[in-house]
Structure 1
Amino acid sequence: MKNFNVLHYVTNIIYIYTIYLLMTTFQRKESTYPKNIQNLSYALFYIIVTTVFSFINIPVITLFANLICLFMLSFLYSSHILNNLQISIVIYTILATEELIISTIANIKTLLIFKSEKHLNISIIFLGNILFLLSAILIKYFFNYKNNKKTTTMLPIFNLAISFLTIIITFILASNSSINSEAFTFVSVSLIFINLFSMWGYEQITTTLNEQFKIESLKEKTKSYEKDIQFMDEQITNLRKYKHDGKNHLLVLMGLMKGKESKDALKYIENLLDIYSTEDMFIKTENKVINSLLNYKIKKMKDNKIKLTTEIKINKNLPVRDYDMSIILGNLIDNAMDAQMKINEENRKINIKIVDEKNKFTITINNTFNGEIKEKNGILISKKEDSSSHGLGLNSVKECVEKYDGIFKINYNDKKFTSYVMFIKDKN
């Protein structure tokens, strides 16, 4: 019984770490709490579930203790009660399924592999936690792959191999009745720490890869602000030019009026109106960020002979931060403009629709394109020569939209490409 308790205390470390893996996988946001608060929360979780199992050990109480702890733990990452409850139930369902599998094995009395009854209980609790960890590795890798997070294929395979090898070694040891419980416990504990170390290594490498990817994304994001600054500089230059030209125009008009050449003065004014009416189209809304970004893009579109139509109905306050809106809108328009440069001038068309409704804020950008789409692992990527920036634009949009629990969709056919973003606004 002593060896059973020792192994139970140690294997619970795997259990808590597996909970951490699943919690950080299912929750869409990283915890905003300091690391010491997070570590303390998981330590309390370990103490509670270990104490309940060791001193109470009533299935119903154990179940509720785990569920309540999981539910409370989920608030480290999100304040949405329904979302947290759902995630807690999903995690415990995975745990319950694993326990059901192990219990089925334990109840088969004729199972020849457990030749020594003294190894049975120790093997069951050990295998249960290893199987739980194995499930978490598979789920985390699937989510990382699905969300296009940077990782390597070999690391998950290596971790899976270690877990499978651990299970095989456990069965081999359990079938050997000559090994005493102390030796069996020692080997099991050693295998636990090997599994934990391999998973820790995987987490560290994955974190490093994602940090590098974020740095590349940040470089891409800062381009948007650089373009804003460039546009403002151009507008300042234009204002100085208009001021200088305006003075000259007034001098000409004054000369014409003094010479009582009113017809020539009127014709001169008409010419000026024609010139200014053909100047750049400007967007003017209540939001300065939208104005600055769109007007810069409009100038670029005009330079590249891209036909533009717009429908802008927005308020001063946006549902997202100005910085994130600049990233979202800037990258989507850049994506549309890049597509225009691959088709004939007469077919270049972009439609931008930004609507701020009562309960939602939507961005829809339609553009013509050549029908060629390049994908990698189900993710659309650009065909730019710089392979290091492939997919960063749309991925930056996806990250910003998900930060606010928004929706980002892409649809396309042979001739038309549509990007759609929607944010649900707070009712209050």
Structure 2
Amino acid sequence: MALSTYEMTYLITNIFGTYIVYKFMHVFFKTKEANHKIELLSYAGYYIFIALVYLTINIPLIMIISNILAFLGLSFNYKVGVKRRLLSVILIYLIVMCVELIVVLLTGYSNYSWLSVNSYSSEYGLIIFQIMLYLVVRILNNYENIRKGETIPVANWISIILIPVSSLYIILALFQATGLVWEQVLVGVVLILLVNFTVFYLYDVISASMVDKMDKILLGQQNKYYQKQFELMESSLKTTKAMRHDLRNHLAVIYALVEKGERDAALKHLTKMTDVYDDKKQYACTENIDIDSILNFKIQEAAQQNIKIALDLSIPEKMGIPSFDLAIILGNLLDNAIEAVAELEKERQIKTNINYDKGRLIILVENPYQGERVKVGNRYLSTNKEPSQHGLGLENVKNVLQKYDGTMDITQRGNIFSVSLMLFV
């Protein structure tokens, strides 16, 4: 069957349209972790699928359903939660649909039926539609907070997704209503598009507020880490001053006892001095203030639950990693380990190795556990009823690792849960 000029124009312009869909997806989703070969094949498959549906069926309602399902399929190229996936797909398609309908109405086509074969045939309209859609996606691409991946509260998500879903229904109803002239329908579609642009803006603002909230939580954690480190330094300084103050007197007593030949008494006095000044608590002391602060805070936290953190540290004073990133990595890994070990009656110890060698920072955290760690895809779920109180999650650790081209390996051997990281700094 020979294709008409309009159908040929549709197939050609839809190549550009597929690229625009790709750009829309990149507005909402991070693409670094996507497999780019599979991503390319999936968009080629999308183009072929939509073209076949259009050439064989071309009923608007079927096209709507096909596009939404295809968009949903394309979104699986990117690692996001269900809430963000659904909201993004619906919002993307609604914006595409509104722009298309505005062009259709402006090019003089008003006899639009959702359930019968589409008879629209303006080649200029197809070209204008793709140009307008490209301008829209370029504008939306300026909103960067959406793709950062912060999880918005359920109540906010429901409120936001309700608007595009309702808008879709209103558009369908508008074109089925009788007695409306095309200008009224056009104004209605434009207003719906503006409303959903506002939703897009609100989504970006809420995402930004979540990022800001998380930054404040991390800043609060850092302040606690540093406060603990300052307390340790102050305590150590007081102990040193006390030793220096009393040392002359102690040496005088020991000297007198030795001079009299009272060896046992001298040794007893030395033992008392050791007991008074020897700090049996285990603390991190590497001269790297950031790591020491985090580790010492967590050591104290673990000690309150009778959990020991065994340290093996070999790191320089400076490494070029912001304390903010270290707080996310070490804070989260140790929180998860403490949470798991707290459930045990014995073997209450966490092994922590941090080593720096030739531009590579290697971190290993191992802890025993009981039961099973629930895994969904590549993600381990917290067993705590309020996991938000235990760090930012391994997914956020992965996000930090991306900055340093780092890797993370999670293993379970017997009853030992192990997380090892390697960062290039």
TM-score tier by shorter-chain length is 0.5 to 0.7
Instruction: Compute the displacement of 1:364 (Å).
Output: 0.6
Equivalent AA in structure 2 for residue 150 of structure 1: I
Choose which of 149, 154, 158 in structure 1 pairs with 2:158.
Answer: 154
> What is the CA–CA distance in structure 1 between the aligned matches of 2:293 and 2:57, rounded to whole Å?
75
Q: What is the distance in 2 between the residues matched to 1:197 and 1:422?
A: 42
Measured after TM superposition, the shift of residue 325 of structure 1 is: 2.1
Once the two structures are TM-superposed, the CA of residue 249 in structure 1 deviates from its matched residue by 2.5
Task: Specify every segment of 5 or more residues in structure 1 that has no aligned partner in the other structure, as ranges.
Answer: 1-11, 29-82
Alpha carbon RMSD of aligned pairs, Å?
5.2
Question: Are the structure 2 counterparts of residues 182 and 17 from structure 1 closer, same or farther at C-alpha, using a change threshold of 3 Å?
Answer: farther
Counterpart residue type for residue 149 of structure 1: T
1:361 is displaced (CA, Å) by 1.2
Structure-2 residue corresponding to 1:369: 369
Change (3 A) 1:202 1:21: farther
- AA aligned to 1:261 is E
Partner of 1:40: none
Residues 292, 244 of structure 1: CA spacing in aligned structure 2 closer, same or farther, 3 A cutoff?
farther
Whether the 8 Å contact between 2:150 and 2:211 is mirrored in structure 1 is no
Residue 230 of structure 1, CA deviation: 2.8
Report the AA paired with residue 390 of structure 1.
Q
Which amino acid is the alignment partner of residue 366 of structure 1?
E
- Counterparts of 1:301-320 in structure 2 under 5 Å? 305-320=306-321
Matched, 1:113 2:112: no
SS in 2 for 1:352: strand
Partner of 1:235: 236
Give the structure 2 partner of residue 287 of structure 1: 288
* Conserved 8 A contact 1:365-1:420: yes
- 2:225 counterpart residue number: 224
1:351 Cα offset (Å): 1.0
Q: Provide the rounded CA distance (Å) in 1 between the counterparts of 2:167 and 2:41.
A: 21
Structure 2 counterpart of 1:355, which letter?
N
Deviation at 1:274, TM superposition (A): 7.7
Separation in 2, partners of 1:273, 1:19? 68
Partner of 1:70: none
Equivalent residues of 1:331, 1:393 under 8 A apart = yes
The answer as to whether partners of 2:411 and 2:419 remain within 8 angstroms in 1 is yes
Which residue of structure 2 aligns with residue 165 of structure 1?
Answer: 169
- Aligned counterpart, 2:343: 342
Give the share of equivalent positions with the same residue, in percent. Answer: 24
Pick one of 25, 28, 49 that aligns with 2:29: 25
The code of the aligned residue for 2:228 comes to K
Inter-partner Cα distance in structure 2 for 1:235 and 1:357: 30
Relative distance call for 1:240 and 1:369 in structure 2 (3 A) is farther
SS at match of 1:316: coil
Secondary structure, aligned partner of 1:199: helix
Which protein has the bigger helix share?
1
Q: Secondary structure at the match of 1:26?
A: coil
**CA 1:170/1:407 → structure 2, altered by over 3 Å: closer, same or farther?**
farther
Cα distance in structure 2, aligned partners of 1:110 and 1:85: 32
TM-fit CA distance, 1:256: 1.4
User: Could you list the runs of 5+ residues in structure 2 that have no partner in the other structure?
Assistant: 1-15, 60-114
Cα offset, 1:160, TM superposition: 4.8
Determine the C-alpha separation between the residues in 1 that align with 2:185 and 2:317.
Answer: 68
Paired residues in the alignment total: 343
3-state DSSP of counterpart to 2:381: strand
| Distance in 2 of aligned mates of 1:242 and 1:308 | 28
Q: Deviations over 1:241-298 (max 9, x none)?
A: 4334534432321331443535643564466568777734454435343345445555
Deviates more, 1:317-326 or 1:353-362: 317-326
Other-structure match for 1:71: none
> Could you tell me how far 1:353 is from its partner in structure 2?
0.9
Greater Cα shift, 207-216 or 248-257:
207-216
Task: Report the TM-score, using the length of structure 2 for normalisation.
Answer: 0.59
Q: What's the counterpart of residue 357 of structure 2? A: 357
Aligned counterpart, 2:85: none
TM-score when normalising by structure 1 = 0.59
Find the residue that maps to 2:29 and give its secondary structure. Answer: helix
Q: Counterpart of 2:254?
A: 253
